[in-house]
């Protein structure tokens, strides 16, 4: 079965680029999308992440979050209501990926065991990213490691940004598309020379600026780059103009 991916962007937020690209881009502030995705097959439609509203997320951040659409309006733009969604893959449990989850009354939420454990007991530096009220009480399906969700859809454990982050690999007619899961932009996959140090050696990928384990984050980004025909970075500005991937 071949699938289509529809990015929907209810909100966007100001990010210092250094939060996306480790040791690069600091001091460059940009509005980046805070998306969720509808993934459509012939008989099944499911969602990846939920995004969150400006009202909820602005209270958790130093920088502002701007609403573009309400969550319900974003769903309605593709003919869906919150009640229609029965399956959601949560790439991880940081607030910008799950803040709308409780607006979905009938959904099962697929999450990695390591992510749920970490969200419940985060490192103090990350505690602000995991407000328990956003995820406690959800109807979780807890998985461990790489997991074949259904025909043409594989979940890949992609740790580093957080311990139980997962990528979503999706077979499309244009090849294998991978929603990274970890927070990044396309620059993470096409680094140019130049960083904090002068070096001739250019790394193959740049880990997310926010990470718990830099080496794991590098390996996860490299794995995505190696297997994907189409890389879908979680916060890339190009998502704003892509109504469907592939289009
Ligand atoms: Zn994010």
Question: In a 3-state reduction of DSSP, which class is residue 92?
Answer: coil
Instruction: Supply the pLDDT for residue 199.
Output: 76
Architecture of the domain defined by 4-240: 4-Layer Sandwich (3.60)
Q: Which residues contact 107 (CB under 8 A, 6 or more apart)?
A: 47, 85, 86, 87, 88, 101, 138, 139
Cα of 204 to ligand 1 centre, how many Å? 22
Q: What confidence score (pLDDT) does residue 193 get?
A: 61
Lowest mean pLDDT among 56-70, 80-94, 112-126, 160-174: 56-70
Q: What DSSP string describes 31-94?
A: EEEEEEEEEE-SS-EEEE-----HHHHHTT-SS-EEESS-HHHHHHTTT--GGG--EEE-S--S
Residue 171 pLDDT class (50, 70, 90 cuts): very high
Predicted local distance difference test score (pLDDT) of residue 194: 59
What's the 184 CA to ligand 1 centre distance in angstroms? 7
Q: How far apart are the first and last CA of the chain?
A: 17
Average pLDDT over residues 136-154: 98
What pLDDT, on the 0 to 100 scale, is given for residue 123?
A: 97
| Confidence at residue 241, expressed as pLDDT on a 0 to 100 scale | 85
Q: How far is the CA of 130 from the centre of ligand 1 (A)?
A: 12
Hey, where are the domains in the chain? 4-240
For residue 222, report the distance from its CA to the centre of ligand 1, in Å.
18
Tell me which H or E stretch contains 220. helix 214-227
Give distance in angstroms: CA of 78 to centre of ligand 1: 23
Tell me phi and psi for residue 12, to 5 degrees: -140, 160
Calculate how far, in angstroms, residue 22's C-alpha sits from the geometric centre of ligand 1. 14
Size (the chain), residues: 247
Q: What is the DSSP letter of 50?
A: -
Find the 7 Cα to ligand 1 centroid distance in Å.
14
Q: From the CA of 5, how far away is ligand 1's center (Å)?
A: 18
Phi first, then psi: give them for residue 222, nearest 5 degrees. -65, -40
pLDDT of 63 reads 86
pLDDT tens digits along 117-126: 999 999 999 9
The tokens for 46 are 């499911």
Ligand 1 geometric centre to CA of 17 (Å): 12
Q: What is the pLDDT of residues 69-112, one digit of tens each?
A: 999 999 999 999 999 999 999 999 999 999 999 999 999 999 99
CA of 200 to the centre of ligand 1 (A): 31
Average model confidence (pLDDT) for the chain?
95
Q: Is the pTM of this model over 0.85?
A: yes
């Amino acid at each position: 079965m071949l699938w289509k991916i529809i990015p929907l962007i209810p909100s966007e937020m100001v990010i210092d680029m250094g939060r996306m690209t480790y040791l690069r881009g600091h001091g460059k502030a940009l509005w980046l999308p805070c998306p969720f995705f509808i993934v459509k097959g012939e008989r099944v439609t499911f969602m990846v992440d939920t995004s969150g509203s400006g009202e909820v997320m602005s209270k958790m951040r130093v920088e502002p979050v701007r609403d573009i659409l309400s969550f319900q309006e974003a769903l309605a733009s593709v003919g869906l209501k919150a009640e229609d969604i029965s399956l959601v893959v949560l790439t991880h449990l940081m607030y910008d990926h799950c803040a709308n989850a409780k607006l979905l009354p009938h959904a099962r939420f697929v999450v990695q065991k390591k992510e749920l454990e970490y969200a419940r007991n985060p490192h103090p530096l990350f505690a602000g990213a995991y407000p328990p009220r956003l995820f406690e009480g959800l109807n979780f399906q807890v998985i461990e490691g790489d997991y074949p969700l259904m025909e043409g859809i594989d979940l890949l454990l992609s740790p580093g940004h957080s311990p139980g982050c997962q990528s979503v690999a999706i077979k499309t007619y244009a090849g294998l598309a991978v929603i990274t899961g970890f927070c990044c932009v396309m620059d993470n996959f096409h680094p140019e020379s130049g960083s904090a140090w002068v070096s001739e050696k250019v790394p193959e990928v740049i880990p997310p600026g926010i990470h718990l384990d830099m080496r794991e984050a590098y390996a996860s980004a490299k794995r995505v780059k190696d297997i994907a025909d189409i890389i879908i970075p979680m916060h890339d500005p190009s998502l704003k103009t892509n109504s469907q991937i592939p289009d």
